A and B are shown apart, each in its own frame.
Chain A
């Protein structure tokens, strides 16, 4: 479904010089799987996901999504993905229905198909109460639902959630995780980034621990615990991070 190969992203910063935000990240995920990127703030998760959603271009390396190349076929990739992030807001002056319809049309869906699909999505995500409410008047939870509806309206095989539960209360966050699990059951491949251990444990089939642009370790939860002889994900996480910080600086660039 998705193969990421040696993805790097660097940018120029006056103070720090050339900054390597993503340093050769590789992973793969299959349909019906939730792949979790677990890492602290500033680990490079958002940059990786922005690259996968074709908003940013990689400095080197590439990824193929459903067979399409990220570097040379970004327009086609966008049809294969749905992207939900804290940075992808909803329009203030558009109603929930208009917003989802607009993106459905941009994906080139025919009116009839779009109408049917929207009815289904709106009832499944319980959005009918506020379908005519404009974005500016929605609560955070409502906005998050609209974002998800917008991301799945074209039924993409790959969904990317970037810190999707940030700023949500427990109830809404729970509902969101439930939706993500339902999407997995429908056979979607999901890449999910978070800095919350509980979410990663509950949700992800495979977890990659990311820190300072690198993936430190990757595997299913039992595999990870087994590999590093730990019983708890949080302990494992801290140990990997501290070990990485203690390692000589050149290791950073060796990837």
Chain B
């Protein structure tokens, strides 16, 4: 790959996109206009709330008590409604007695008045309000010294009502305002009552509550912004990547220029990188412009609001937060760009491309939403989730928890870069796949497809079939886990395990091999590998075991088992320990080894190898192998073991060494795990090999290191074997190492 060509393609695509008005609009104009517009309308609403004059209709005003005064002529009295407020309230009194008799009628009348715009809210005082109130006040005031205050039941005080419509902004504001006035009025009344009974005012509030916020102003601001900003920026990074990606792939297919480019000397990898950089530029630029526009508008609006005396107490976004966000944006937009590009390569037209945005959002949105949950924090587990980990890291940095951030930085960086690499690889593969680039619309029907599958079976399964088999095994396993309860005895446990292994792990791939392929031997690697390979596989399992144990411990340290899971595992271990060693090995080592190898290194790996990367196939098959183990902690260890076995399968071209490795590995786990401490007690000389500390049982460090060295040696030996590359792998390696010399004259 040549950087000069990538740059050339990048510059062209960039210029091309900049000449497109639609792109420019979405990328630049929209964010620059959107936030100020939103901000302005927000301010307008705030302004309106503050300045609009509310009209209050007062019904039954003639029946108000004389002290304390509620009304002063045609407006509220100054005691209950001081000047700036009083200007915003206009009172229309209706001195005639209200005609309505029932509450429902009153409600309807008020609704009518508010709807027709006569007033914004209606305050209704029931007939004889003043008289009955006075009677009630007198009743309370009459017995000041009876001692038992609680027994005094005041006569029912008539209830004034405020009618307002929450579906109407003006009406809601009016109700708020009149509510404040009425509360003040009531307060005055309480004070009068107290005075009448010679009780000091302080009696109503024996003590004050003082709230003190220990957070500094900056971190208060950070908390709010650390949740909003990353989300907004990521959403825009995705949108900003998606549309240019569609134009650069599906759009080019539509305009017929993709073939022009493909026949040029630029390699597919160079084309993808050039396009990727363009998409990334737009993704970053969109996100940054949105960030800047939102930041500036936010700062402006908030300063205006606080000058207006609003109750909103968030400051402008902290500058540091903006900076870190911009830094984190680069890898995230690389990831989104590569994903968008790979998806866009699949689309035949821009229109079809647009349909793919929704699935992409469905996958990425949850990853962006997880960090918004209050209980989710940056820890070892969450830092390994793509996108979420990065957002949580950002939050930690914005909140100033630098210690936490630095500790989890490597994990987040590795996951993010890994994600980028995989998605870029996928995009390049899409461009190399003529089935994708020259995809033609054909009418699909299930019957035709099934017939086609049967008639044109290959010796080994296709890539898609392998993925299908993996997904099928996962689904079956998922649903079966609901049916299988906790075992109570060894015999039931053994039966359930055998049945699961045979029926749910081994049977589906065997059936699929029979139905979808023509060669059992080639699909399930039923070849004789030679004795040295078999020996090496067994010895490799021994050499590898100490390292596997360390890995297992490491995983448990990263993701501690929950007490429930620990208890369940304890039960199973106890059941296994009860059994005789032979059935135990048969059920827990031999059967899984055969069944799982048939599925994962047999059918799935054979199919995956059509992708043309030996290592890609090994890793993906191991991911399935790990995932089928159900529990995260087990899955991670299984995945690592799966990679080693996958390599053996590819190098030897046979399933036998894999099964032997698997049996040996499982047997070691069982024997050492269950009887290790006992054995060391019986034979103290074993302390040279094992370390026993309280409940920790592991190999001596030098044994582990020696084992690793040996394991690497064995792997190197496997590497020397003449492995049988698939057609796709041979072609890819030829293409990647094109000789410069003519092959013929």
Taking Cβ atoms with an 8 Å cutoff, the residues of A that contact B are 3, 11-15, 17-18, 50, 53-57, 64, 66-69, 71-76, 78-79, 81, 83, 85-94, 102-103, 105-108, 147, 150
Q: A68 contacts which chain B residues (CB < 8 A)? A: 742-743
A78 touches B735 (CB 8 A): no
What distance in Å separates the Cβ of A9 from its nearest Cβ neighbour in chain B? 10
- 13 A-B Cβ contacts within 8 A? A12-B456, A14-B442, A15-B442, A66-B742, A67-B742, A78-B263, A79-B265, A89-B255, A90-B257, A91-B257, A94-B16, A108-B265, A147-B260
User: How far is it, in angstroms, between the C-alpha of A63 and the C-alpha of B262 when the chains are bound?
Assistant: 19
Total interface residues on B, using CB and 8 Å?
41
Q: B452 contacts which chain A residues (CB < 8 A)? A: 12, 14, 17
Is B745 an interface residue, CB under 8 A from the partner?
yes
B744 touches A87 (CB 8 A): no
A103 touches B264 (CB 8 A): yes
Is B496 an interface residue, CB under 8 A from the partner?
no
Contact of A55 among B20, B259, B435, B731 (CB under 8 A): B259
A86 closest partner in B (C-beta): B256
User: How far is it, in angstroms, between the C-alpha of A87 and the C-alpha of B437 when the chains are bound?
Assistant: 13
Taking Cβ atoms with an 8 Å cutoff, the residues of B that contact A are 5, 8-9, 12, 15-16, 19-20, 255-257, 259-260, 262-267, 434-435, 438, 442-445, 448-449, 452, 455-456, 731, 734-735, 738-740, 742-745
User: How far is it, in angstroms, between the C-alpha of A15 and the C-alpha of B256 when the chains are bound?
Assistant: 27
User: How far is it, in angstroms, between the C-alpha of A53 and the C-alpha of B572 when the chains are bound?
Assistant: 63
Known: A15-B448, A72-B739, A94-B15. 4 other contacts (CB 8 A): A15-B443, A55-B434, A69-B743, A102-B12
A17 touches B255 (CB 8 A): no
B262 closest partner in A (C-beta): A55
User: How far is it, in angstroms, between the C-alpha of A82 and the C-alpha of B740 when the chains are bound?
Assistant: 19
Known contacts A12-B452, A67-B743, A68-B743; is-contact A53 B263 (Cβ 8 Å): yes
What distance in Å separates the Cβ of A242 from its nearest Cβ neighbour in chain B? 29
Q: B266 contacts which chain A residues (CB < 8 A)? A: 106
In this complex, the member of A3, A11, A103, A106 whose beta carbon has the largest number of chain B beta carbons within 10 angstroms is A106
Q: B265 contacts which chain A residues (CB < 8 A)? A: 75, 78-79, 106-108
Contact of A75 among B20, B267, B438, B745 (CB under 8 A): B267
User: How far is it, in angstroms, between the C-alpha of A55 and the C-alpha of B432 when the chains are bound?
Assistant: 10
What distance in Å separates the Cβ of B23 from its nearest Cβ neighbour in chain A? 10
A150 closest partner in B (C-beta): B260
Q: B15 contacts which chain A residues (CB < 8 A)? A: 93-94
Q: B740 contacts which chain A residues (CB < 8 A)? A: 76
User: How far is it, in angstroms, between the C-alpha of A11 and the C-alpha of B436 when the chains are bound?
Assistant: 13
What distance in Å separates the Cβ of A118 from its nearest Cβ neighbour in chain B? 16
User: How far is it, in angstroms, between the C-alpha of A93 and the C-alpha of B20 when the chains are bound?
Assistant: 8
A14 touches B743 (CB 8 A): no
B8 touches A106 (CB 8 A): yes
User: How far is it, in angstroms, between the C-alpha of A66 and the C-alpha of B744 when the chains are bound?
Assistant: 8
In this complex, the member of B260, B743, B744 whose beta carbon has the largest number of chain A beta carbons within 10 angstroms is B260
User: How far is it, in angstroms, between the C-alpha of A106 and the C-alpha of B260 when the chains are bound?
Assistant: 12
A57 closest partner in B (C-beta): B434
B455 closest partner in A (C-beta): A17
Q: A76 contacts which chain B residues (CB < 8 A)? A: 738, 740
B16 touches A91 (CB 8 A): yes
Known contacts A73-B739, A75-B267, A106-B8; is-contact A90 B456 (Cβ 8 Å): no
Known contacts A54-B263, A150-B260; is-contact A75 B738 (Cβ 8 Å): yes
Q: A102 contacts which chain B residues (CB < 8 A)? A: 8, 12
The 8 residue pairs across chains A and B that have the minimum distance between CB atoms: A67-B742, A89-B256, A88-B260, A93-B19, A83-B263, A78-B265, A14-B448, A69-B743
User: How far is it, in angstroms, between the C-alpha of A93 and the C-alpha of B22 when the chains are bound?
Assistant: 13
Q: B449 contacts which chain A residues (CB < 8 A)? A: 14
B456 touches A14 (CB 8 A): no
A106 touches B264 (CB 8 A): yes
Known contacts A14-B452, A68-B742; is-contact A85 B438 (Cβ 8 Å): no
B743 touches A73 (CB 8 A): yes
Contact of A64 among B9, B12, B455, B743 (CB under 8 A): B743
Q: A3 contacts which chain B residues (CB < 8 A)? A: 744
User: How far is it, in angstroms, between the C-alpha of A230 and the C-alpha of B281 when the chains are bound?
Assistant: 63
User: How far is it, in angstroms, between the C-alpha of A76 and the C-alpha of B731 when the chains are bound?
Assistant: 16
User: How far is it, in angstroms, between the C-alpha of A75 and the C-alpha of B266 when the chains are bound?
Assistant: 8
A70 closest partner in B (C-beta): B743
Contact of A88 among B259, B445, B448, B743 (CB under 8 A): B259
In this complex, the member of B264, B444, B448 whose beta carbon has the largest number of chain A beta carbons within 10 angstroms is B264
Q: A72 contacts which chain B residues (CB < 8 A)? A: 734-735, 738-739, 743
User: How far is it, in angstroms, between the C-alpha of A107 and the C-alpha of B5 when the chains are bound?
Assistant: 9
In this complex, the member of A50, A66, A69, A72 whose beta carbon has the largest number of chain B beta carbons within 10 angstroms is A72
Q: A14 contacts which chain B residues (CB < 8 A)? A: 442-445, 448-449, 452
Contact of A89 among B9, B260, B267, B455 (CB under 8 A): B260
What distance in Å separates the Cβ of A74 from its nearest Cβ neighbour in chain B? 7
User: How far is it, in angstroms, between the C-alpha of A56 and the C-alpha of B439 when the chains are bound?
Assistant: 12
User: How far is it, in angstroms, between the C-alpha of A78 and the C-alpha of B15 when the chains are bound?
Assistant: 25
B267 closest partner in A (C-beta): A75
Q: A11 contacts which chain B residues (CB < 8 A)? A: 435
User: How far is it, in angstroms, between the C-alpha of A172 and the C-alpha of B9 when the chains are bound?
Assistant: 31
A74 touches B16 (CB 8 A): no
B256 touches A88 (CB 8 A): yes
Contact of A56 among B434, B445, B448, B735 (CB under 8 A): B434
In this complex, the member of B263, B435, B455, B744 whose beta carbon has the largest number of chain A beta carbons within 10 angstroms is B263
User: How far is it, in angstroms, between the C-alpha of A88 and the C-alpha of B255 when the chains are bound?
Assistant: 9
What distance in Å separates the Cβ of B554 from its nearest Cβ neighbour in chain A? 44
B18 closest partner in A (C-beta): A93
